[in-house]
Amino acid sequence: MVSLLMYSCIGKHRVDVWKTMTIAPGDSIVVGKIKAPAVLEIKNLSDENLLLVSQLKMQKQILARSSFSYRLPKKSGLILENPTKNPLSIHLHYSSNKPIPINHKQLQ
């Protein structure tokens, strides 16, 4: 019984990352295909709208000075695009069982 309880705790570790990022004009941030479901919270800290590109049925932009929360399913991705001529700042928080690739790097 004790070994069963110890086994059930393995793999329950969550990755929580908070990061403030700047997206250059005409550039994007790519959240690659994830290996486990993840909860994303994105705050647009700028005065311009931020575009969201995904194959999922979700809103298409984050309005200026607003927030967006979404649960990305396994094997899905998301692109955050800056269509403006000014840099945009965002605050990104994600929580998942595994790290997610952002711009082809694992954030942990």
Range of the domain at 88: 14-107
Residue 6 domain-assigned?
Answer: no
Q: What is the pLDDT of residue 108?
A: 56
The CATH number of the domain holding residue 37 is: 2.60.120.10
Per-residue CA distances from 17 to 64, 83, 86, 96 (Å): 22, 26, 26, 9
Using CB atoms within 10 Å of the CB of residue 90, give its burial: 0 to 12 exposed, 13 to 18 middle, 19+ buried: buried
Of 102, 82, 107, nearest to 30 by C-alpha is: 102
Residue 2 domain-assigned?
Answer: no
Residue 80 domain-assigned?
Answer: yes
pLDDT (tens digit per residue) in 31-52: 999 999 999 999 999 999 999 9
Q: What is the pLDDT of residue 12?
A: 60
Residue 3 domain-assigned?
Answer: no
Counted domains in the chain: 1
pTM: 0.82
Q: What is the pLDDT of residue 78?
A: 95
Q: What is the pLDDT of residue 8?
A: 36
Residue 76 domain-assigned?
Answer: yes
Low-confidence ranges of the chain (pLDDT < 70): 1-13, 107-108
Residue 89 domain-assigned?
Answer: yes
Residue 8 domain-assigned?
Answer: no
Q: What is the pLDDT of residue 6?
A: 37
Residue 82 domain-assigned?
Answer: yes
User: Which string of DSSP letters, residue by residue, matches 51-67?
Assistant: EEE-SSS--SEE-TT-E
